[in-house]
A and B are shown apart, each in its own frame.
Chain A
Amino acid sequence: MALATLANREVHVDEEGFMTEYDEWDEEMAAALAANIGIELTDAHWKAINFLREDYKENDVTPTLRRVTNTGGIPTKELFALFPKKPAKKMAYIAGVPKPAGCV
């Protein structure tokens, strides 16, 4: 576990830079994290990020792309437009929740 400085504060991150403490995250940090990967946040991005935050809080698991589409109501196509190439990973990174388990 390492420390990184985001929006002028020290936060805990894993080796890939994903925040590891749910409560250290705030909206300013989301903007900083997004900027790190070349994304400027719009309302559409926020809808996805807020869904990830709430769903993670409830279930303790980062939602899959399928869940963001089915339960969060955001079409997969739109998620690819908002978070190009790797939406599941990028959304989790910005929302300060663990990297999706992907699979095994």
Chain B
Amino acid sequence: MKRLLVLGAGTAGTMVVNKLRPRLDDAEWKITIVDQEPTHHYQPGYLFLPFGDYRPEEVVKPKKKFIPDGVELVMAEIDRVDPAENRVFLADGTELEFDQLVIATGTTPRPDETPGMAEDEWRKSVHEFYTFEGATALGEKLAAWEGGRLVVHITEMPIKCPVAPLEFTFLADDFFKKKGMRDQVEITYVTPLDGAFTKPVASKHLGDMLSERKVVVEPDFMIERVDNESKTIVSFDEREVPFDLLVTVPLNMGADFVARSGLGDELNFVPVDQGTLLSTAHDNIFAVGDASNIPASKAGSVAHFAVEIFTDNFLEHIAGRPMTGAFDGHANCFVESGDGKGMLIDFNYTTEPLPGKYPLPGVGPFSLLKETEMNHYGKLAFRWMYWNLLLPGKELPLPALMSMVGKEQEEVAQ
């Protein structure tokens, strides 16, 4: 009996076992998935928690519910992988052997990596919304906040869901307008990038949307520390941005066991081939979802498209054949823009987000890079699809590889 061992029962790991269990012979392959957290969080929902739009129970469900029959779920902390011996050590001393290993332990925010961030002002005037606790605490803060300088800040790329801080900013603008206090809030968007987003066309569109909302962008800002006394963030080149409320996206890193196992880069992400997700160092180790170092957005949609390609590749790989599928870095993200509207962006490793239409049989088309109500409903509907179709590994009417159909090439005004 051979064993496929999957580390991490989040979005990517859960999809992997749901896709592979029906396609691997029960008599030949045992599948085991390891995770230390009993609950699965719908992370896109965190964005809405600070504004009181979702109830906590809408975004949290037991992990067990999404693991299919025939897959063993082990609840334990992972200590390390021994790639030479094909073995994983759990923190409780258990050893699990594997023939094939899939690392799907994602990325987590690490506020303690920035001096001063997780100190005196943490969860008082310094907040984040990438954890359930953080998003809930920020919701309480915003409900009572009387205004002042709001600074939305990104520590360093890559981050999970790179559009989320923009969405947070748009939603905050809308939230303060509706409370009749927008004129009492000054919003600054501080980023290590040279503009609102990474790719030129989208960066211009999103940058325009920030300026329409009177949000000041502070680009090329690499944070050195948070000064708790003066309530400022200070960059390595000694610029200072004062805040009354800082909403930061802390440094993102992969799991610590990845580093302990010698499998990670500087940020504990696993170096893999960007087309096959196979480790560059080990022929029986894959990394899927946010855990890998592929130059794509760290996002559920990317994990979903990547797992579609990975599934067929994996079956070829264990049959000793060359893997014929190549993931293209496809991402498809709804971007909430406030006031009941949203945008859609669709892109991959080589094609940046472009305007146009996104065709979807029976439902669409959705408008790309343009604010519409339809896109907002698309985003809300996605929560249902996530729990009921995506995690269980059912077919979604979305092609895994990006298509140019409907997209318009556009020159960026310099």
Residues in A lying within 8 Å of B, measured CB to CB = 64-67, 70-71, 76-77, 79-81, 84-86, 101-104
Q: Is the CB of B237 within 8 A of A104?
A: no
Known: A71-B266, A85-B237. A76 touches B158 (CB 8 A): no
Q: Is the CB of A64 within 8 A of B266?
A: yes
Instruction: Select A103's contact among B220, B295, B331, beta carbons within 8 Å.
Output: B295
CA separation between A79 and B224, bound complex, in Å? 13
Look across to chain A and name the residue whose beta carbon is closest to the beta carbon of B197: A104
Q: Is the CB of A104 within 8 A of B158?
A: yes
Q: Is the CB of A66 within 8 A of B157?
A: no
CA separation between A103 and B162, bound complex, in Å? 9
Q: Is the CB of B220 within 8 A of A86?
A: yes
Known: A101-B295, A102-B198. A70 touches B266 (CB 8 A): yes
Can you list 25 A-B pairs with a CB-CB distance of less than 8 A? A64-B266, A66-B267, A67-B266, A70-B266, A71-B266, A76-B224, A76-B236, A79-B236, A80-B222, A80-B235, A80-B236, A80-B237, A85-B220, A85-B237, A86-B220, A102-B193, A103-B158, A103-B162, A103-B193, A103-B295, A104-B158, A104-B162, A104-B199, A104-B295, A104-B329
Q: A104: which B residues are within 8 A, CB to CB?
A: 158, 162, 198-199, 295-297, 329, 331
Among A70, A71, A77, A84: residue with most chain B CB under 10 A? A77
Instruction: Select A86's contact among B194, B235, B297, B331, beta carbons within 8 Å.
Output: B194
Q: A65: which B residues are within 8 A, CB to CB?
A: 222
Residues in B lying within 8 Å of A, measured CB to CB = 156-159, 162, 193-194, 198-199, 220, 222, 224, 235-237, 265-267, 295-297, 329, 331
Instruction: Select B222's contact among A67, A76, A81, beta carbons within 8 Å.
Output: A76
Beyond A77-B236, A103-B162, A104-B158, 12 additional contacts (C-beta under 8 Å) are A66-B266, A70-B266, A71-B266, A76-B224, A80-B236, A84-B237, A85-B220, A101-B295, A103-B295, A104-B199, A104-B295, A104-B329
Look across to chain B and name the residue whose beta carbon is closest to the beta carbon of A81: B237
Look across to chain B and name the residue whose beta carbon is closest to the beta carbon of A59: B271
Instruction: Select A77's contact among B224, B267, B329, beta carbons within 8 Å.
Output: B224
Q: B162: which A residues are within 8 A, CB to CB?
A: 103-104
Chain A nearest Cβ from B168, distance in angstroms: 18
Chain B nearest Cβ from A78, distance in angstroms: 9
Look across to chain A and name the residue whose beta carbon is closest to the beta carbon of B352: A104
CA separation between A81 and B297, bound complex, in Å? 30
| Majority DSSP secondary structure for residues of B touching A | loop
Look across to chain A and name the residue whose beta carbon is closest to the beta carbon of B329: A104
Look across to chain A and name the residue whose beta carbon is closest to the beta carbon of B158: A103
Q: B296: which A residues are within 8 A, CB to CB?
A: 104
CA separation between A103 and B197, bound complex, in Å? 9
Among A66, A76, A81, A104: residue with most chain B CB under 10 A? A104
Chain B nearest Cβ from A16, distance in angstroms: 11
Look across to chain A and name the residue whose beta carbon is closest to the beta carbon of B156: A66
Chain B nearest Cβ from A65, distance in angstroms: 7
CA separation between A49 and B331, bound complex, in Å? 34
Q: Which 9 A-B pairs have the closest CB atoms?
A: A103-B157, A80-B237, A80-B236, A103-B158, A101-B295, A66-B266, A67-B266, A77-B236, A76-B236
Q: A64: which B residues are within 8 A, CB to CB?
A: 266
CA separation between A92 and B20, bound complex, in Å? 42
CA separation between A102 and B200, bound complex, in Å? 12
Look across to chain A and name the residue whose beta carbon is closest to the beta carbon of B347: A104
Q: B295: which A residues are within 8 A, CB to CB?
A: 101, 103-104
Chain B nearest Cβ from A56, distance in angstroms: 14
Look across to chain B and name the residue whose beta carbon is closest to the beta carbon of A103: B157
CA separation between A10 and B218, bound complex, in Å? 37
Chain A nearest Cβ from B371, distance in angstroms: 22
Chain B nearest Cβ from A7, distance in angstroms: 28
Chain B nearest Cβ from A62, distance in angstroms: 11
Chain A nearest Cβ from B195, distance in angstroms: 11
Look across to chain A and name the residue whose beta carbon is closest to the beta carbon of B224: A77
Q: B331: which A residues are within 8 A, CB to CB?
A: 104
CA separation between A61 and B158, bound complex, in Å? 15
Q: Is the CB of A102 within 8 A of B237?
A: no
Q: B297: which A residues are within 8 A, CB to CB?
A: 104
Chain B nearest Cβ from A48, distance in angstroms: 14
Chain B nearest Cβ from A9, distance in angstroms: 29
Chain A nearest Cβ from B117, distance in angstroms: 16
CA separation between A104 and B222, bound complex, in Å? 17
CA separation between A104 and B330, bound complex, in Å? 11
CA separation between A10 and B331, bound complex, in Å? 38
Q: A102: which B residues are within 8 A, CB to CB?
A: 157, 193, 198
Q: A103: which B residues are within 8 A, CB to CB?
A: 157-159, 162, 193, 198, 295
